[in-house]
């Protein structure tokens, strides 16, 4: 009797294992296409991420180059502005000198009795002598 009980338990165990194996096989057949589809989607998503990272790297390097170029242009503009300011200051100083000389020339009018051409010639000669100093 005891042998039959062990045989019954073994038969029940074997049946349980067979049902468990059959269930695992059925589950694998059911979920295999789903897992394959998800793996395919995962591959596409990974490729899209890799493409996006490559595009980001390209855009980042282009932006860095552009920023470097902008900074160089700003430095050049600052240099040109400083040169222009010094040129304007030099021109203003020269302008003051020329205006004072022009005021002297305008103030020196010949006498009414003198010859205008001779006075103009003398004034030009005096100006040339002054410029040569």
CA atoms within 13 A on the CB side of 78: 6
pTM for this prediction: 0.48
Say which residues have a Cβ less than 8 Å from residue 110's Cβ, sequence separation at least 6: 116, 119, 120
Condensed to tens digits (0 to 9), the pLDDT of residues 7-50 reads: 888 889 999 999 999 989 988 888 889 989 999 999 999 999 99
Query: For residue 113, what pLDDT is reported?
Result: 66
Query: For residue 127, what pLDDT is reported?
Result: 81
Can you tell me whether residue 115 is helix, strand or coil?
Answer: coil
């Amino acid at each position: 009797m005891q042998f039959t009980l062990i045989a019954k338990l073994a038969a029940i165990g074997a049946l349980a294992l067979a049902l468990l194996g059959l269930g695992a096989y059925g589950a694998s057949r059911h979920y295999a296409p789903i897992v394959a589809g998800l793996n395919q989607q995962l591959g596409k998503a990974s490729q899209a991420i890799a493409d996006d990272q490559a595009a980001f790297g390209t855009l980042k390097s282009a932006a860095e180059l552009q920023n470097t170029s902008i900074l160089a242009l700003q430095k050049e503009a600052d240099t040109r502005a400083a040169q222009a300011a010094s040129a304007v200051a030099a021109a203003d100083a020269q302008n003051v000198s020329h205006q004072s000389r022009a005021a002297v020339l305008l103030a020196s009018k010949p006498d009414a009795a003198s010859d205008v051409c001779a006075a103009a010639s003398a004034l030009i000669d005096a100006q040339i002598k002054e410029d040569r100093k």
